[in-house]
Structure 1
Amino acid sequence: MTKRFGPTAVEPATPLWWGGIALRVLTWLFALGAVIVHQNDFQRPALAWIVLGAMAVWTVLTGLVYSREALRWRWRWFVVLDVVVVCGLMLTSPLILSHTQLSGVDPLITTVWVAGVPVAAGTRFGGYGGMAAGLVVGAATAVARQAFTLDVARDGVLLVATGLLIGMSATTARRSAAALAEAWRREVANAERERLARSIHDSVLQVLARVRRRGAEVGGEAAELAALAGEQEIALRALVSTEPSGAGTGEADLRRALQLLASPKVQVAAPAGDVLLPAAMTAELVAVAREALSNVDKHAPRARVWILLENLATEIVLTIRDNGPGIPEGRLAAAEAAGHLGVARSMRGRVAELGGTISLETGPDRGTEWEVRVPKAGTKR
């Protein structure tokens, strides 16, 4: 499955891939010069030219693979194979160089060409992958030298640092591209929402407003229709004025979702900022609030309702209070025994599945107050 980082499927770290390709070409040219200069001192000059040719072929092959635009074509297994091949070519150095060259300061047959490996691994796997590739190449350098010297240690540190820095750069590029894609998506969604809002305002909302005004003037049954039209007008205005949040991240804004429940008789009080929760948790809490409002409509249709949302450090507190006649003692138990499971299953059951608690305070002429407490993801009660 192709991972999209924005409006296009281009890999954000593509400049790093091309930089790695250019590095290989330049370092292979350096290796060519080193072979020309030192070939008379080699034990097996012919083998040196064979290895140099293999390095050229591998440079071209990796260039073809790493120059692809989409990340999916830069296979993980190929990057691992890249590490293996480069280290294998480097380990031919004891067969080519003389003992004096190995123990001295003369470069191995691959010279600095091996630096392309931690660059590729870091770009593909991130900082840890680049460091791992640098450690492997550094260890292969020590084996090829048949000694662990200060020069070998220095080369190893540089290889590890190169892989780490390139890996961090690639990770940052991908995260920045993902953030830019999300901002772009929101901008497009907001533009479409504003277009729909203008269209709805010029048609549906104006009709609802007119029905509300005329119904209130006429009175009687028309007044009830006016009240319903007013509620729908407020709900529709809240819907078209609510911005999408958390899309693509598996999160949803509980504050905005609860605001859609507002009506002339339902007031919602919530924090100013987004209350982002897992989408499933948000849906369950909104369902609990809807069930509470449904009970109010059934048993106290003229009551007013207040919904309060609190975003605490470790938990979410949702309070639904009304000024109705309250619930008589034993009423809920009798309803559950009669098979009416709205409160038992829809409210208490949902909250229990979220690992939270729900409490009820009510009484004759005291109204009803539900308090729901649900721990945030990653926290324990």
Structure 2
Amino acid sequence: MSVERPLWRALTGYRAITTAYAVGLLVLAWGDYTDSGRPGVAVGYIAVLVVWTALTIRRTLGADRCTPAFLAGDLTVAVAGILLSPVADPADAVTPTLPSVWVAGSVLAFAVKAGWRWAAVASAVVGAANLATAGFGRATVHNVLLVWLASIAIGYVVEVARASERTLARALRIEAATRERERLARDIHDGVLQVLTMVRRRADAEDPAAVELGRLAEEQEQALRRLIHGGPPPGADALPAPRCAPNPAAPGHRAVEEGADEGETDLRALLARREAARVTFSAPAGRVPLPAGTARELDAAVGAALDNVWHHAGGPDGSGGRAWILLEDEPGEVVVTVRDDGPGIAPGRLAAAEAEGRMGVSLSIRGRLREIGGTATWESVAGQGTEVELKVPKR
């Protein structure tokens, strides 16, 4: 909801209440008008004031309805009432002017609609009318300055609120774009980049065609990494399915792939599908339910961790490298640990890989966990393998 809407509603209520107040003042001062004044002038103006307020009551329900013509007309009614007050009460027997505090609504309308500068102009016009009819008495000058300063303050607050709202909206758009870019980057890393890396590494050095294919794959890999860092890749919707997406054979996979985040998925059954000859899976005996979207991202993060095992500790074809997946169902969180028997990660290597645009850790794992409110930590000892711990709070 816009920050201005409550102000417009308050202004609408203020105009209605002060109109009733002006009518009440006329009734209470009727004797003074009949004794020494012109009651017809007072009644005529108050009737115009009531009709004008009733006809324009919807004009102050929003900025789009509060037009410059209405503001000018409202200010004219207010100033006319002030100038007609000595005509209706030449003996000055009635203290307030005919519109009384209703005139402040006209000034406030300028403040909310156009900011403090136009509010200062409108309050100056009202103040000049008051000084012209009542003179430069202390009470009159005090009231004029009070209305002038109050209108400027309210107008300034409205402008600050508008600027803050625009800044917040821009920040939300940037955040949404960043989150979408990271999501696309994770999918691209899990699919296209993994394939290009595999092609580059498996190019046969003795085959000129394979060498050329490997070189082209490397060029495209680097170009795609730069593109991902600069913004969402064009045509991302047409990219192939990510390699580390949830297992197609896992129960409930269809609902998760279609983006159904409602309901729960058994994370134990989902991760069990990743068990293989060189992947050992351990978990509690019972189900480990998680929201479908959370389970999907956690499973994909485990897949990305296993990809790192195959790339750096061995291969899924059996040429070295083993991995162990441990699922723990804690009272307040779910913990998944992926451990391998590879050579370990050299100190500073993760930060260097992220700086080079390699996103296996920064986006495919850590980014996914951040999206679902979890954390990812690494422990590695040279020559003793690497352990990745993924924690997700239960919701």
1:1-381 correspondence runs (5 A): 11-42=2-33, 43-68=37-62, 71-101=63-93, 106-145=95-134, 147-215=135-203, 217-218=205-206, 220-242=208-230
Instruction: Check the 8 A contact 1:27/1:112 in 2, yes or no.
Output: yes
Deviation at 1:60, TM superposition (A): 2.3
Deviation at 1:32, TM superposition (A): 2.0
Structure 1 residues 30 and 72: alpha-carbon distance in aligned structure 2, compared to 1, 3 A threshold: closer
Determine the C-alpha separation between the residues in 2 that align with 1:51 and 1:148. Answer: 25
Determine the C-alpha separation between the residues in 1 that align with 2:91 and 2:43. Answer: 19
Q: In terms of Rg, which structure is larger?
A: 2
Q: How many residues align?
A: 229
Deviation at 1:217, TM superposition (A): 4.1
1:123-173 alpha-carbon deviations (Å, 9 max, x no partner): 01111111111111111112232x222222112111111211211121122
Determine the C-alpha separation between the residues in 2 that align with 1:156 and 1:87. Answer: 13
Structure 1 residues 120 and 208: alpha-carbon distance in aligned structure 2, compared to 1, 3 A threshold: same
Deviation at 1:106, TM superposition (A): 0.8
1:198-231 alpha-carbon deviations (Å, 9 max, x no partner): 2212322122212222237456454344333223
Instruction: Check the 8 A contact 1:129/1:163 in 2, yes or no.
Output: no
Structure 1 residues 24 and 216: alpha-carbon distance in aligned structure 2, compared to 1, 3 A threshold: farther
Point out where structure 2 has 5 or more consecutive residues left out of the alignment: 233-395
Determine the C-alpha separation between the residues in 1 that align with 2:222 and 2:73. Answer: 62
Determine the C-alpha separation between the residues in 2 that align with 1:198 and 1:175. Answer: 34
Determine the C-alpha separation between the residues in 2 that align with 1:161 and 1:22. Answer: 22
Structure 1 residues 151 and 225: alpha-carbon distance in aligned structure 2, compared to 1, 3 A threshold: same
Q: Percent identity, please.
A: 36
| Amino acid in the other structure paired with 1:198 | R
Greater shift, 11-20 or 109-118, is seen at 11-20
Instruction: Check the 8 A contact 1:41/1:98 in 2, yes or no.
Output: no
Structure 1 residues 241 and 216: alpha-carbon distance in aligned structure 2, compared to 1, 3 A threshold: farther
Point out where structure 1 has 5 or more consecutive residues left out of the alignment: 1-9, 245-381
**TM-score relative to the length of structure 1:** 0.55
Determine the C-alpha separation between the residues in 2 that align with 1:89 and 1:240. Answer: 66
Deviation at 1:115, TM superposition (A): 0.7
Deviation at 1:45, TM superposition (A): 1.2
Q: CA RMSD in A?
A: 2.2
